[in-house]
A = this chain, B = another copy of it.
Amino acid sequence: MNSFRSYLVTGCAGFIGSTLVDRLLLGGHEVIGIDNFSTGQRRFLEWALKSPNFKLIETDLLDLDSLKMAFAGGEMVFHLAANADVRFGTDHPRRDLEQNTIATYNVLEAMRANGIKKIAFSSTGSVYGEAVVIPTPEDGPFPIQTSLYGASKAACEGLISAYCEGFGFQSWIFRFVSILGERYTHGHIFDFYQKLMKDPTQLEVLGNGKQRKSYLYVQDCIDAILVATQKAQDKVNIFNLGVDGYCEVNNSIGWISKELGVAPELKYTGGERGWIGDNPFIFLDTQKINSLGWKPKVSIEEGVIKTVEYLRANEWVFEAR
């Protein structure tokens, strides 16, 4: 882990951010967490806030002056704060630009102001658009963006890489598939669960249900991030994170329904894509991260079931959004 005592985590109250905070604290590190609580949840930080090694700073990444102050004393940044809403990007095109691209620029500038030069970043498999090579490797063909979300994350990657070249930064860029598990608060399982709570007899499915998607369990994701930041020491280290396989949306619906003990009639909206910009086939080549000795421990099916179990035990997340 680059042997630092003090880590900065943006988006520290989010799904992945709060899980990383807990893991860093368990590892004996000091953590400064930053969140604006626009989508983050205070309850995700209940355990962390009991630790003397955790400091929470409530601020917005768009406030550069405040961010420069917040970063004082940090040694490496895990930049996980983002607008992670890929589906509704066209409803508010400025949001990805501000909360992803401009926020990341501000993070880089706040680092520069504080002499911090190491950054790990949560990118996305969406930067591959509709990949022409599947499973998609990190150095596959120059992609054409198909979503404002993917475009903004690709823009962040470019900024980070340019800071590595121009200002001597070092970076770890992680292109995730969708992440599942405890503290999961948005995505298809969330939506299906919510719909089935209202009416367990039927379920509207966007598209034809045959979209092939890959998912990764959140603790496996954190393991991969910690392994890569420890072992990979290029100037710019880019890793796909995912499992060696995929499922159909229909498979996922089957697992969710079984776990909930329901048998809804499925009503497909039709078409290959669930929405404009939906990618009908996501499957990342993870040989590069595997070569560092990391393998996921939890399968897609197990991850889906763990997520449903979490939602059943924490229905407050449906109200909290």
Q: Interface residues, chain A, CB within 8 Å of chain B?
A: 89-90, 93-94, 97, 101-102, 105, 108-109, 128-129, 132, 138-148, 150-152, 154-155, 157-159, 161-163, 165-167, 236, 238, 276-277
In the assembly, what is the distance between CA of A102 and CA of B102, in Å? Answer: 9
State in angstroms the CA–CA spacing of A162 and B100 once bound together. 15
Copies of this chain, tallied across the complex: 2
The smallest C-beta distance from A180 to any residue of chain B, in angstroms, reads 26
Q: Is the CB of B144 within 8 A of A141?
A: no
Residue of B nearest to A128 (CB): B142
Q: Which residues of B contact A159 (CB under 8 A)?
A: 97, 145, 148, 151, 155
Task: Pick from B132, B147, B165: contact of A162, CB below 8 A.
Answer: B147
Whether A90 touches B238, Cβ cut-off 8 Å, given contacts A139-B141, A139-B142, A154-B154, is no
Name the one of B93, B150, B276 contacting A109, with C-beta atoms under 8 angstroms.
B93
Residues in B with CB closer than 8 Å to A238 are 144
Do A144 and B90 touch across chains, with their CB atoms under 8 A apart? Answer: no
Cβ–Cβ < 8 Å partners of A158 in chain B: 145, 150-152, 154-155
What residues of chain B lie closer than 8 Å to A167, measured between beta carbons? 90
The residues of B that contact A105 with a CB separation of less than 8 Å are 93-94, 97
Indicate whether A143 sits within 8 Å of B144 (C-beta atoms), given known contacts A93-B109, A150-B158, A151-B155: no
Q: Judge whether A155 and B101 touch: CB under 8 Å.
A: yes
- Point out the residues of chain B lying under 8 angstroms from A94, CB to CB: 105, 109
- What distance in Å separates the Cβ of A51 from its nearest Cβ neighbour in chain B? 35
The answer to whether B109 and A102 touch across the interface, beta carbons within 8 angstroms, is no
Q: How far is the CB of A155 from chain B (nearest CB, A)?
A: 3
**Smallest beta-carbon distance A278→chain B, Å:** 10
Chain B residue nearest to A165 in the complex (CB): B146
Residues of B within 8 A of A145 (CB): 157-159, 161-162, 165
* B contact residues around A277 at 8 Å (CB): 162, 165-166
Q: In whole angstroms, how far apart are the Cα atoms of A128 and B139 in the complex?
A: 12
Name the residue on B nearest A234 (C-beta): B144
**A286 → chain B closest CB, angstroms:** 16
Q: How far is the CA of A128 from the CA of B155 in the complex (A)?
A: 14
Contacts of A166 in B (CB 8 A): 89-90, 93, 147-148, 276-277
Which of B143, B157, B161 is in CB contact (< 8 Å) with A146?
B161
Q: Considering only CB atoms, which chain B residue lies closest to A158 in the complex?
A: B151
A89 surroundings in chain B (CB, below 8 A): 162, 166
Which of A89, A159, A277 neighbours the largest number of chain B CB atoms within 10 Å of its CB?
A159
Q: In the bound complex, how far is the Cα of B101 from the Cα of A146, in angstroms?
A: 17
Cα distance A90–B138 in the bound complex, in angstroms: 27
Known A132-B139, A148-B162, A151-B162; 8 more pairs at CB < 8 Å: A93-B105, A93-B166, A141-B141, A142-B142, A144-B236, A145-B157, A148-B159, A148-B166
Which B residues are in CB contact (< 8 Å) with A144? Answer: 161, 236, 238
Q: Decide yes or no: A162 and B142 within 8 Å by CB, A90-B167, A97-B102, A101-B155 being known contacts.
A: no
A40–B314 alpha-carbon span in the complex (Å): 59
